[in-house]
């Protein structure tokens, strides 16, 4: 049975109880029991339940549920008519119980009241017999319990549906976040190295005729940048579980970068350290590519209160150009780490500041 179908066992259990009581009544001669008809009616009810649950494992559409409810009512009355034990009228409890799943509490309560009225009308002079009064009281209690059980089952079913929807939403958000992370990594890794390659190749082209040695050195630097790009791509494909910020910054810094680090990365979240590294990478790339800077300083401060990165240069400043994908990705990455990004123009140059609070 589909796990999303709540309380599917109630109807088969009641049918089994009626069958046992009917067989016993037929064996001892209690009342008039037409055993073949009783068994056939109960089997029909169970098959009907199984067919509905298989076709509609979570919720039966209202038009279909109304037709099945009417068919069940006919079968319940027929089974009660051929049962000599009198227990078959308990099957009427299944009418409000089943109706609750498709139509809600109001319809279930109305049907429960109707079933109680039928039970009272079909028991003449019930008030004059203690046994019949007791039976009606128990029938009323059974109605209350079945409606309450249906209410709990419906809440459980709706809760499962909401939980499944939440799981789907989380999966979609996770996939979107992963796509954004991959996009940031591609831009930060490949963008940085490709920029260096372009700069070196432009330098080689400019000095090719006048200073071949300088041009050759630029080509070799471009080759090294290409190899670094390849290594970074391979490293990104692997799921890195450790990250050494200081080593990564040393590899990132070149001859035109002054690196100053104070404090220790121990105790800081790996995601925060990655965010700092990516911010440094983006700041250095922008300073080299757009600001025409001759001096770049990267300062990292790590302490118990948090982590702070400052990238400053002596280039031509920010100007009025809009922020590109690199800065957008950096802001997203730092925001995910709980930090903030400040970008300001200086005289001369630009200063990028990233601040990430320490772990709680």
What single string gives the DSSP state of each residue in 277-322? HHHHHHHHHHHHHTS--S-EEEEEEEETTEEEEEEEE-SS--TTPP
Least Cα distance to 181 among 274, 311, 283 occurs for 274
Contact 278, 315 (CB under 8 A): no
| pTM (global) more than 0.95 | no
Q: How far apart are CA 118 and CA 95, in angstroms?
A: 13
Written as six digits, the tokens of 330 are: 């950096």
Q: At which residue do the structure tokens 């709540």 appear?
A: 6
Low-confidence ranges of the chain (pLDDT < 50): 1-3, 238-240
Q: How far apart are CA 13 and CA 200, in angstroms?
A: 81
Question: Tell me, what's the pLDDT at 239?
Answer: 42
* CA 94 vs CA 12, 47, 322: distances in Å: 11, 15, 67
In the beta sheet, which residues pair with residue 107?
none
**Strand positions, DSSP E, the chain:** 257-262, 296-303, 306-313, 340-345, 350-357
Q: At which residue do the structure tokens 């001669």 appear?
A: 29
Question: Tell me, what's the pLDDT at 336?
Answer: 84
Question: Tell me, what's the pLDDT at 1?
Answer: 36
CB atoms within 10 A of CB 69: 19
Question: Tell me, what's the pLDDT at 234?
Answer: 66
78-124 pLDDT, tens digit each: 998 888 888 888 888 888 988 898 888 899 999 999 888 888 887 77
Burial 286-310, CB ≥16 within 10 A → b, else e: bbbbbbebeebbbbbebeeebbbbb
Domain 244-360 annotated CATH 3.30.565.10? yes
Question: Tell me, what's the pLDDT at 349?
Answer: 83
Please, is 194 exposed, middle or buried when counting C-beta atoms within 10 Å of its C-beta (0-12, 13-18, 19+)?
middle
Written as six digits, the tokens of 54 are: 């298989």
Share above pLDDT 70 across residues of the chain, in percent, rounded to a whole number = 88
Question: Tell me, what's the pLDDT at 301?
Answer: 94
């Amino acid at each position: 049975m589909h796990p999303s179908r709540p309380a599917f066992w109630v109807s088969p259990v009641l049918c089994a109880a009626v069958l046992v009581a009917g067989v016993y009544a037929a064996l001892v001669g209690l009342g008039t029991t037409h055993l073949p008809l009783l068994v056939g009616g109960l089997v029909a009810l169970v098959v009907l339940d199984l067919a509905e649950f298989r076709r509609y494992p979570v919720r039966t559409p209202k038009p279909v549920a109304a037709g099945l409810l009417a068919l069940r009512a006919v079968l319940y009355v027929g089974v009660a008519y051929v049962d000599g034990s009198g227990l078959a009228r308990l099957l009427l409890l299944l009418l409000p119980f089943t109706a609750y799943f498709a139509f809600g509490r109001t319809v279930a309560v109305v049907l429960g009241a109707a079933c109680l009225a039928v039970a009272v009308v079909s028991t003449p002079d019930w008030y004059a017999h203690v046994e019949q009064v007791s039976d009606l009281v128990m029938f009323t209690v059974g109605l209350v319990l079945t409606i309450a059980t249906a209410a709990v089952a419906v809440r459980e079913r709706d809760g499962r549906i909401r939980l499944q929807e939440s799981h789907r939403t989380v999966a979609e958000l996770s996939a979107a976040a992963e796509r954004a992370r991959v996009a940031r990594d591609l831009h930060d890794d490949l963008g940085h190295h490709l920029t260096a390659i372009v700069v070196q190749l432009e330098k080689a082209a400019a000095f090719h005729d006048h200073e071949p040695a300088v041009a050759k050195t630029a080509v070799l630097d471009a080759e090294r940048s290409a190899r670094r790009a390849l290594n970074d791509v391979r490293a990104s494909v692997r799921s890195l579980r450790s990250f050494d910020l200081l080593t990564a910054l040393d590899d990132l810094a070149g001859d035109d970068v002054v690196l100053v680090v104070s404090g220790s990365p121990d105790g800081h979240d790996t995601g925060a350290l990655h965010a700092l590294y990516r911010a440094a990478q983006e700041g250095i790339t922008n300073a080299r590519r757009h600001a025409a800077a001759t001096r770049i300083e990267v300062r990292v401060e790590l302490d118990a209160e948090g982590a702070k990165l400052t990238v400053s240069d002596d280039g031509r400043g920010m100007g009025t150009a809009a922020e590109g994908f690199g800065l957008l990705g950096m802001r997203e990455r730092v925001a995910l780490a709980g930090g903030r990004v400040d970008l300001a123009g200086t005289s001369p140059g630009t200063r990028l500041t990233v601040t990430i609070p320490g772990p709680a």
